[in-house]
Amino acid sequence: MSVLLILEASNGKIKRASWEALAAALRLGPAEGITAVVIGAQTEELAAEAATKPVGRVVRVEHPLLAHYTADGFCIALQQLIQIEGTTQVVIFAHTYQARDYAPALACRIGQVLIGDVVGIEDGPVFTRQLMQERLNGSYRHSGGGPCFVSVQAGAFRADGIDAQPKAASAPITTFAPTINSAQIRTRPGEPFRGSAQTVDLNSAQRIVSVGRGIKDPANLPMVQELATALGAELAASRPICDNGWLPMERQVGSSGQTVAPKLYLAVGISGAIQHLVGMKGSQCIVAINKDSDAPIFEVADYGIVGDLFEVVPALTEALKAAKQ
């Protein structure tokens, strides 16, 4: 199996999600068949880091116009690499915001379709991805000639096992210089910036009560705040609540908000979309209150109450107050 593993860097280091993609690649075939690809204007250190991992070889795709990520630059460079590589069977990415921005376009240029956000790989290979707000799983298969493009969901494959793989020596490193001219890059990216200053540090909270769509109306928030107060917990929310402006963005937990791991995480009326789960599934004890017994939040919960949150939340506040006395 010949696999191109496209690595992504952040602050001069390969992202953990990329090593999870390597773990997924190792499900498909042995390390010798895996070519790790680093992209940028200066990739020497990234390549050296990649060479210590269980991969067959490392390719540095290097060009001054790749200093900053652009979909155009990355698509042009990787399309050229795939062409000279010849027999690639799988091109695999971590399903990051960056990959989501360009991998579908790259696949399309080669007449392929990305199987994105994969959570499982079975023999075949058959790729599993989630459907219907994580309520169902879909099994996908690639057909026809040409490489199969796959991106894997953060946390779906464990990166901590890859260093235990048997490995002879550091993988050989080569450099590929793509042909790109500046006129081909149509977008002008600015420097990343932070949103408004954070005044709530959910990270240091021991207990968090988090509220989701089930709350229906901002007028119902005081009921949840009362529960949080009774628990001595910070109030947080899933994305739709912050999108609606019902709570400030800084209280958002999830991939686009904060990642938290408190002792107790109590999810009220949160269905448990993956974007939320990645931000809280490391919590020590997770409690979910939801009317839908099939809600994916129950997948990660230690305790659950299936019921109407407008009855359960006040009852829980009362029970906590009673327990304190």
Partner 1 sequence: MKIIVAIKQVPDRDAPVRIALSANWIDERDLQWAMNEPDAYALEEALLLKEKAGGEVIVLSAGPERVGSTIREALAKGADRAIHILCDDLSARDALGVARLLAAAIKPENPDLVLTGLQSEDVGLGQTGVIVAELLGLPHSTMILQVEKIEAGFKVKRELEEGWFQSIELPTPAVLTMQSGGNNLRYATLMGIKRAKTKELRTVNAAELGVDIGSVVMLERITAPIKQKSTQILPGSAREAAAALVEKLKTEAHVL
Q: Does 263 bind partner 1 (CB under 8 A)?
A: yes
Q: Does 323 bind partner 1 (CB under 8 A)?
A: yes
Q: Please give the Cα distance from 175 to 218 (Å, whole number).
A: 56
Minimal distance, residue 5 CB to partner 1, in Å: 20
**Considering only residues 87, 164, 181, 186, which one is a binding residue for partner 1 as defined by CB under 8 A?**
186
- Give Cα separations from 74 to 61, 93, 174, 178 (angstroms): 10, 13, 18, 10
**Considering only residues 115, 118, 267, 277, which one is a binding residue for partner 1 as defined by CB under 8 A?**
115
User: In terms of CB distance, is 139 or 174 closer to partner 1?
Assistant: 139
Q: Does 189 bind partner 1 (CB under 8 A)?
A: yes
Q: Please give the Cα distance from 57 to 4 (Å, whole number).
A: 10
Question: What is the CA 233 to chain-centroid distance, rounded?
Answer: 27
Q: Please give the Cα distance from 235 to 238 (Å, whole number).
A: 11
User: Are the beta carbons of 130 and 137 closer than 8 angstroms?
Assistant: yes
Q: Is the peptide bond before 178 cis (omega within 30 degrees of 0)?
A: no
User: In terms of CB distance, is 39 or 148 closer to partner 1?
Assistant: 148
- Write out the binding residues for partner 1, residues 71-100 only, by CB under 8 A: 71-72, 96-97, 100
**Considering only residues 78, 242, 253, 267, which one is a binding residue for partner 1 as defined by CB under 8 A?**
242
CB atoms within 10 A of CB 269: 28
Q: Please give the Cα distance from 297 to 274 (Å, whole number).
A: 9
Question: What is the CA 163 to chain-centroid distance, rounded?
Answer: 21
**Considering only residues 35, 88, 112, 210, which one is a binding residue for partner 1 as defined by CB under 8 A?**
112
Q: Please give the Cα distance from 300 to 287 (Å, whole number).
A: 9
Q: Does 34 bind partner 1 (CB under 8 A)?
A: no
Q: Does 137 bind partner 1 (CB under 8 A)?
A: yes
Site string for partner 1, 140-159 (x = CB under 8 A): xxxxx-x-------------
User: Are the beta carbons of 30 and 53 closer than 8 angstroms?
Assistant: no
Q: Please give the Cα distance from 267 to 273 (Å, whole number).
A: 12
User: In terms of CB distance, is 54 or 212 closer to partner 1?
Assistant: 212
Q: Count of residues binding partner 1 (CB under 8 A)?
A: 92
Stretch that binds partner 1, among 27-35, 78-86, 133-141, 217-225 (CB under 8 A): 133-141
Minimal distance, residue 203 CB to partner 1, in Å: 12
User: In terms of CB distance, is 1 or 131 closer to partner 1?
Assistant: 131
User: In terms of CB distance, is 173 or 300 closer to partner 1?
Assistant: 300
Minimal distance, residue 85 CB to partner 1, in Å: 19
Stretch that binds partner 1, among 39-47, 85-93, 163-171, 316-324 (CB under 8 A): 316-324
Q: Please give the Cα distance from 93 to 126 (Å, whole number).
A: 16
- Write out the binding residues for partner 1, residues 266-305 only, by CB under 8 A: 271, 284-285, 287-288, 292-294, 296, 298-305
Q: Does 191 bind partner 1 (CB under 8 A)?
A: yes
* Residue from 325, 262, 267, 324 nearest 299 by CA: 267
Minimal distance, residue 305 CB to partner 1, in Å: 5
Sheet arrangement for strand 57-62: 126-131, 114-122, 148-152, 90-94, 3-6, 34-40, 57-62, 173-176
